[in-house]
Structure 1
Amino acid sequence: MSNPILSEKRWNEELETTSGGDVMTVDGAAIKTSFLVLIMLAVIAGMWSQFWAGQATPFQQLKGYAIGGGIGGLVLVLIGMFLPRFSAVLSIAYSICQGLLLGAITMIFEVAYPGLPLLAATFTSGTLLGMLMLYKFGIIKASSGFMRGVMGATAGLALGVGMLFLLNMFGIGTGMRATLYGNGPIGIGFSVFCVILAALNLVVDFGMIEEGARRRAPKYMEWVGAFGLMVTLVWLYIEILRLLAKLRR
């Protein structure tokens, strides 16, 4: 699998079990994605308003926001995998959680590397627009082979990172983790790979959404598409921010 929300298997199951009624459109999915992004940005802006007002937020509190938002977002994604019909509510809640996560992370990085979060946000927006243009003009096509390759690479990355995390809990593989997440050549190369893979996942998401519209998927699948695209965008931003931080060290 690639994006857990835009799973091809789940997408096909929903198409097979639903007929009649309003159908999804690409424009509808785009509007809902924009709405979710605005919700997330509103939460981030609310957190940053204290920073701009000179009211310092304790690091432990920011850490709590980040952990809570991250865990909450993960739980909502897992629920969304099995209950796609509730994606409207789940995706809004996810955007709020990710607003807390990214708001805390950006404030921490802003203190350590002034201006870096804004640069990462700019690069993320540019990557989104760039990949959308490449997809629209057919330069990069979401063919079945391309999608399988990206999905396989993403699943492999997720499995590897997950296994490394579990091993680290027992004090195993800490050196490898330090290398991958350090600012050496291997660490920077790993981050570049993650950024490229996240960007390619955008094309997979575009393809899934367009395929759903072409096959006249039910209207609520617009929320599923928007939810999945949000998951990829958050991942892309975090990877770009991590890469830029490594280059600044």
Structure 2
Amino acid sequence: MKSSNPVFSRWGAGRADAPAGAYPRHPVGATVGGPPAGDHSVNPYAPAVVADGRTAAAPTAITMDDVVVRTATALGTVVLAAVLSWLLLPVDEAHIGRSYGLAVGAAVVAFVLSVVQSFRRTPSPALILGYAAFEGVFLGVFSSATSTYIAPGVVVQGVLGTFAVSAGVLIAYRMRWIRVTRRFAGFAAAAATGFLLLLAADLLFSAFDAGNGLGLHSGGLGIVFGVLGILLGAAFLALDFRQVEDAVAYGAPREEAWLAAFGLTATLAWLYLEVLQVLTIFNGDG
């Protein structure tokens, strides 16, 4: 199970040492007694064959409870850090410079930790919880500033909107209205790459005093861009759900629950920011 989040981990990649035909559990969509019907030709978590030809002992398999507990821990860390930063890092005129500086620094640290975790072969709870804490600091200051200076009350709307989108994606996924395949994952990754390149270009234009950059954060264009961001976040959320479903079905090691928590936390943070942007523009225009 590879984390499907905005850092573009290698979703769906299997273990090269997995022996063919060894399925401790039936994968999603498989026919009992037959080959898998999903994206894996072999079980990516099947026990490896050791030097003497014997099969290594399988680790404890992941359960849905493992995913729920670890995701709740990561999201709880984000929320706690966000609330503390909102309370302890004021955004009034006397302190806004310091608070903004700490928020930007926290965002950079969170990004670095997420990249380090994405390139690790195994999940690190310390890295994931560290990412969640620094991401929470950034979200707390950003939300506080948005609510104070741009659109009072928009943060509550943003949280509710994020829950609504997440619930809608979960329902659509469970009803199989969304079919997550390798083609779906490739399309989502390509679209998100273009999205991030546009964001980078917007930052460059803004840095060189080109007014409002490319205009991606205001007016009608900002709303369209924000809606596209929400749709991409929803797509990655569906990839996260597929990640969890595959992990449980294939009998992945329990430690993989931390990767699921990492992917879900990163995606939900991204989704919240996109929802907040759209709502902020609507409130500002109103």
- Specify if TM > 0.5: yes
Q: TM-score if structure 2 supplies the norm length? A: 0.76
Contact 1:2–1:154 (CA<8 Å) still a contact in 2? no
Deviation at 1:138, TM superposition (A): 1.4
Contact 2:5–2:266 (CA<8 Å) still a contact in 1? no
| Residue 180 of structure 2 corresponds to residue 142 of structure 1 | yes
**Which of 261, 277, 285 is matched with 1:226 structurally?**
261
Aligned residue identity for 2:6: N
What do residues 29-70 of structure 1 show as CA deviations (whole Å, max 9, x unaligned)? 122111111111112222334589xx9871112202310211
Contact 2:70–2:257 (CA<8 Å) still a contact in 1? yes
Aligned residue identity for 1:237: Y
Contact 1:29–1:226 (CA<8 Å) still a contact in 2? yes
Distance 2:106 2:240 in 1: 23
What do residues 88-134 of structure 1 show as CA deviations (whole Å, max 9, x unaligned)? 11110011001100110111011122111111011111211221111
Contact 1:5–1:227 (CA<8 Å) still a contact in 2? no
Distance 2:212 2:46 in 1: 46
**Which of 195, 201, 218 is matched with 2:236 structurally?**
201
> Larger C-alpha radius of gyration, 1 or 2?
2
**Which residues in structure 2 correspond to 1:46-57 (within 5 Å)?**
46-50=84-88
Aligned residue identity for 2:136: G
SS where residue 253 of structure 2 aligns? coil
Q: Which residue of structure 2 lines up, in the alignment, with residue 235 of structure 1?
A: 270
Q: Which residue of structure 2 lines up, in the alignment, with residue 41 of structure 1?
A: 79
Q: Which residue of structure 1 lines up, in the alignment, with residue 141 of structure 2?
A: 104
Distance 2:137 2:69 in 1: 22
Distance 2:94 2:15 in 1: 46
Distance 2:111 2:73 in 1: 20
**Which of 143, 146, 152 is matched with 2:190 structurally?**
152
Q: Which residue of structure 1 lines up, in the alignment, with residue 113 of structure 2?
A: 76
Contact 2:202–2:214 (CA<8 Å) still a contact in 1? no
Contact 2:8–2:189 (CA<8 Å) still a contact in 1? no
**Which of 167, 180, 186 is matched with 2:216 structurally?**
180
Aligned residue identity for 1:192: V
CA 1:35 to 1:56, structure 2 compared with 1: closer, same or farther past 3 Å?
Answer: farther
Q: Which residue of structure 2 lines up, in the alignment, with residue 4 of structure 1?
A: 7
**Long gaps (5+) in structure 1:** none
Count of aligned pairs between the two proteins:
245
Contact 2:234–2:271 (CA<8 Å) still a contact in 1? yes
Contact 1:4–1:228 (CA<8 Å) still a contact in 2? no
Deviation at 1:156, TM superposition (A): 2.1
**Long gaps (5+) in structure 2:** 18-43, 49-57
Q: Which residue of structure 2 lines up, in the alignment, with residue 91 of structure 1?
A: 128
Contact 2:205–2:214 (CA<8 Å) still a contact in 1? no
Contact 1:120–1:244 (CA<8 Å) still a contact in 2? yes
CA 1:56 to 1:34, structure 2 compared with 1: closer, same or farther past 3 Å?
Answer: farther
User: Which structure shows the bigger proportion of residues in helix conformation?
Assistant: 1
Contact 1:116–1:241 (CA<8 Å) still a contact in 2? yes
CA 1:229 to 1:11, structure 2 compared with 1: closer, same or farther past 3 Å?
Answer: farther
Q: CA RMSD in A?
A: 2.8
Aligned residue identity for 1:221: E
Contact 2:230–2:275 (CA<8 Å) still a contact in 1? yes
Distance 2:184 2:226 in 1: 21
Q: Relative contact order (C-alpha < 8 Å, sep 6+): which is higher?
A: 1
CA 1:45 to 1:146, structure 2 compared with 1: closer, same or farther past 3 Å?
Answer: same
**Which residues in structure 2 correspond to 1:56-75 (within 5 Å)?**
58-75=95-112
Distance 1:71 1:239 in 2: 18
Q: TM-score if structure 1 supplies the norm length? A: 0.86
Contact 1:154–1:197 (CA<8 Å) still a contact in 2? yes
**Which of 235, 245, 248 is matched with 2:280 structurally?**
245
CA 1:148 to 1:5, structure 2 compared with 1: closer, same or farther past 3 Å?
Answer: closer
Distance 1:136 1:242 in 2: 28
